[in-house]
Structure 1
């Protein structure tokens, strides 16, 4: 029969065994390379553990361990991709731009847990706070941007602005999360008619820019040609200037030499200048040397003698034959 002492001993042994089991299973824990842990003592966060391996702690319920991942998470805003299928949520992505146009914008946010204690205890649902902060940041930046920037070349700047604003909000909420990257997936117009109209406007703008670029190239070409012609004219003018200066210097030198000759032999120089002037003014005129002897003016007919000399030479050669 069971006695009271025996019952007490049995219950005590069972209780002690349960304690030993609890101590044996709750005094150690392991941390993987992709994990990080937080030790909690009577509900108070003691320290964080990031080194992988086997670790020991006080048994439950004195200390407990919360393990979190160190990997990078992706927050999909406006859509959900699962098993290769994409499900869109247009009500989340519909927003108004700064120039009062409606666009559909979705994005993905890369984030990770950098402070496990704050992530666990500073907020009840930190991922929901992150989602709402992402929505607020995107709507704020899109609301201050033009539709052209959102649809074309301004996406990179919008992404950077959203990332900065989202990082500021997350830091303000102090939920132990860090934002790594923000990437716009799609920015679209709400329907086909609006898309077609915007495409036509974009094509017209591209054509305008092409024409402006072509006009700029033609202007630069003509400007360079004009500058080249200007340089050539200036160079020719400089050459003409130098040539005229040298010619003038030569004329001055000749004049100085004539002046010296004139001062030495004025009569001879005067006659020489008259003859040279006549040759220049009347290049085809016949010049005769005349001699004034008393009342009768006689001259020496040079030109007729020049014409007769070849005939005389010809006749003499015929007689010799």
Structure 2
């Protein structure tokens, strides 16, 4: 007869277990006590060679020990699931290999053997250097070196979207740098275009890494001084020296301009101020003359002849006061007398009174005689 013979109703008595001879339980989970008891019976038969029908009586203290062992294992399982994420880190949680979530810093718990964690430091700055010979826009070979600094910005993309993010970064750096140098002339690579090359390389590299979803963030790109190949190093050094001399002369000219420009601006400002003052002086003088002539108008209307004569004498006085004066006269016999009056006035000097009082007596008598 088979174990599950068709046509018979399955119950605890009609379908016994062929291994133990006991009836099967068709519903509900197995009893924990029964499992533990069967386990100890099996161990007893195995080590003491007792027949299968002989039962082993389990002492109560053995049951307590078993419960304590299971409780300790359960406690260890709970404690193994605790972990702490640092302030600058994040943890990626996987459940049976599938991404579940990303947790921030702090104390967390996961069921051990069911879920798994990967702790990633997202604030750590890493760096690497890349150097290679490249062809410029004007078909010159130049050796360019660059230093890249980066950090992790997305732990999930960093762990699972690419096989090797660092290798992807190196390849993207080579591509971005070659593309930038290939669109730049040699002079710009060596001198004034270095900052532009650095910015373009960083922007292009960041775009490539975002498209690849590597989870890396480019924080800094430092372009090192470009070097020529060994075959043309001497000519390259001469060109660099000439460019340095050019830059030195430019700096000297700018320094001279900074010294001269403030002085020139000061002189220009002084001239402007003097011109404004002269303008104001002339305007005020003209206004004064107008006021003076307007004040003389009523007197002129009353006595025109007298007023004209007075104005004439005032004008002559003003002219003679500011100009040298010479007296000419023709004497009998066609002799001309020339008297520079201004020079004669300068030859006379004022004698102080104490000089006359202190003069010798004979001089006074001679003068009186």
TM-score, reference length from structure 2: 0.52
Q: How does 1:131-280 map to 2 (within 5 A)?
A: 131-152=170-191, 154-184=193-223, 186-190=224-228, 191=230, 192-193=233-234, 194-211=236-253, 214-215=256-257, 218=260, 221-222=263-264, 224-226=266-268, 228-247=270-289, 249-251=291-293, 253-254=295-296, 256-261=298-303, 273=309
As a proportion of its length, which structure holds more strand?
Answer: 1
Counterpart Cα distance in 1 of 2:161 and 2:268 = 73
Alignment correspondent of 2:5? none
Alignment correspondent of 2:156? 117
* Residue segments in structure 2 that go unaligned for 5+ positions in a row: 1-18, 21-38, 47-68, 318-324, 329-369
Alignment correspondent of 1:44? 98
Assess if the C-alpha contact under 8 Å between 2:145 and 2:226 holds in 1: no
Alignment correspondent of 1:30? 83
Assess if the C-alpha contact under 8 Å between 2:177 and 2:201 holds in 1: yes
How large is the RMSD of aligned CA atoms in angstroms? 4.5
Count of residue correspondences: 250
Q: How does 1:84-95 map to 2 (within 5 A)?
A: 92-95=131-134
SS at match of 1:188: coil
Deviation, structure 1 residue 54: 6.2
Q: How does 1:281-320 map to 2 (within 5 A)?
A: none
Assess if the C-alpha contact under 8 Å between 1:98 and 1:145 holds in 2: yes
Cα distance change on mapping 1:124 and 1:9 into 2, 3 Å? farther
Assess if the C-alpha contact under 8 Å between 2:138 and 2:186 holds in 1: yes
Deviation, structure 1 residue 255: 5.6
Cα distance change on mapping 1:236 and 1:72 into 2, 3 Å? same
SS at match of 1:187: coil
Cα distance change on mapping 1:256 and 1:76 into 2, 3 Å? same
SS at match of 1:179: strand
Alignment correspondent of 2:55? none
Cα distance change on mapping 1:74 and 1:227 into 2, 3 Å? same
Alignment correspondent of 1:76? 128
Q: Per chain length, whose mean CA-contact separation is higher, i.e. which structure has more relative contact order (CA < 8 Å, sep 6+)? A: 1
TM-score, reference length from structure 1: 0.59
SS at match of 2:225: strand
Counterpart Cα distance in 1 of 2:89 and 2:167 = 22
Cα distance change on mapping 1:38 and 1:231 into 2, 3 Å? closer
Deviation, structure 1 residue 132: 0.9
Counterpart Cα distance in 1 of 2:293 and 2:120 = 104
Q: Which moved more, 1:252-261 or 1:198-207?
A: 252-261
